[in-house]
Amino acid sequence: MTATRRELTIRLAGPRGFCAGVDRAILIVEKALEKFGAPVYVRHEIVHNRFVVESLQEKGAVFVEELDEAPIDRPIVFSAHGVPKSVPADAEARQMIYVDATCPLVSKVHREVERHHKAGHIVVLIGHAGHPEVIGTMGQVPDGSIVLVETVDDVAKLNLPDNMPLAYATQTTLSVDDTAAIVDALRARYPHIAGPKREDICYATTNRQAAVRALAAESDAVLVIGAPNSSNSRRLVEVARVAGCPKATLVQRASEIDWAWLDGVRNLGVSAGASAPEILVDEVIEACRARFDVTVGEIIVAEEDVEFKLPRLLAS
């Protein structure tokens, strides 16, 4: 007689997974391959997800970290995270064909930083040191005209004259709550600091965090599908824990799930970072079905219909 399998209710976060900027970046690489043929080079991972990167490699994309790793007679695509101004300048000097897949919402932050610099402001950037988006944003203006803070404590350590014109900007993939605390600390210390009309955290990050917050309230555990180097994916785990579900973890694929971790879990919340494709969510559900009697539902907090245009070079 077959043993009765334990019941498991999976609630999916809505929205989850790919955002418009990621969709656009992947499509740019695919369109470049169609237009120019393989190989097409890509500077840095186009988005932070190994499944996506390996899928594009199979189609003829070659990923490199710096321009000098790519031949000058092949096109190169810049990743969705954005690049310092020096990178397209170098590509032009080498007479390379390049396509910029920077997310338009990241480009918006770049323009804000440039505008503040031209107005004579020192810019305080809220973000994570070493993240490609932060490197790209800081590279929009000369050294010394932008400073990075990662925490509220960093704000206390700033050594900027009180009468210096200041402005702030934020990395797009941060935790909404953490960033709000840092912005509050900046405004308390420098009441004259200028900033965007609303924080630069993108709609997709905000929506995915809101969905996970709702999910955490009804889950015994939360599983976030995403890469360990994906800022927005790691933030979703943090959001789940802060929202009352301490049993939250990040996996890249179903094969990484520690099934003993699910002992005693009856309600499992599942989300995916903005660079994780839906096929990986399906893979997790099927892996659960192989072990449990699964019921699947969804908690939807927002609908998304954002689309970004392709660069002119690939639009036709």
CATH class in words for 20-103: alpha beta
Q: What is the torsion angle, in degrees rounded to the nearest 10, for the CA atoms of residue 270, residue 273, residue 279 and residue 281?
A: -10
User: CB within 8 A of 126, min separation 6: which ones?
Assistant: 148, 149, 150, 168, 169, 170, 171, 174, 179, 182, 183
pTM score, two decimals?
Answer: 0.93
Hey, which residues are catalytic here?
133
pLDDT, averaged across the chain:
95
Per-residue confidence (pLDDT) for residue 93, from 0 to 100: 97
Q: Summarize pLDDT for 20-32 with one digit per residue, the tens.
A: 999 999 999 999 9
H/E element, 135? helix 132-138
Per-residue confidence (pLDDT) for residue 162, from 0 to 100: 82
Do domains 7-18+203-300 and 104-189 share one topology? The answer is yes
Which residues on adjacent β-strands are paired with residue 148? 125
CATH class in words for 104-189: alpha beta
Per-residue confidence (pLDDT) for residue 224, from 0 to 100: 98
Predicted confidence (pLDDT) at residue 46 exceeds the cutoff of 90: yes
Per-residue confidence (pLDDT) for residue 147, from 0 to 100: 98
Is the pLDDT higher at 200 or at 282?
Answer: 282
H/E element, 97? none
- For the chain, which residues make up each domain, given as ranges? 7-18+203-300, 20-103, 104-189
CATH 3.40.1010.20 given to domain 7-18+203-300: yes
- State how far the Cα of 60 lies from the Cα of 55, in Å rounded to an integer: 9
Per-residue confidence (pLDDT) for residue 316, from 0 to 100: 63
Would you tell me how many other CB atoms lie within 10 Å of the CB of residue 66? 10
